[in-house]
């Protein structure tokens, strides 16, 4: 994929802005699988089980794996 720097700056303002948007999108989507780790109401084993099941489900979901929205 060839994208000129002018196109990046026109669309996002800067590489930093693009990076921040990518991180925000990841954190609101696939990155949420780790949210269970901070849940103080879960035992450690429950959090790990949910984390693993969430990770497996994420890997098996074609739309997430392929980056489609």
What is the reported pLDDT for 33? 86
User: Does position 45 have pLDDT exceeding 90, yes or no?
Assistant: yes
Q: Is the pTM of this model over 0.75?
A: no
Please measure the distance between the N-terminal and C-terminal CA atoms of the chain and give it in whole angstroms.
19
User: Hey, what are 69's tokens?
Assistant: 């929205």
Whose structure tokens read 């699988």?
33
> Could you read off the pLDDT of 50-63 as tens digits, one per residue?
999 998 888 887 76
> Could you read off the pLDDT of 10-40 as tens digits, one per residue?
888 888 998 999 999 888 887 888 888 888 9
């Amino acid at each position: 994929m060839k994208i000129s720097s002018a196109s990046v700056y026109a669309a996002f303002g800067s590489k930093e802005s693009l990076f921040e948007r990518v991180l925000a999108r990841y954190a609101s989507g696939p990155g949420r699988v780790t949210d269970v780790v901070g849940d103080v109401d879960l035992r450690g084993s429950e959090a790990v089980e949910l984390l693993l099941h969430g990770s497996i489900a994420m890997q098996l979901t074609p739309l997430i794996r392929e980056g489609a929205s």
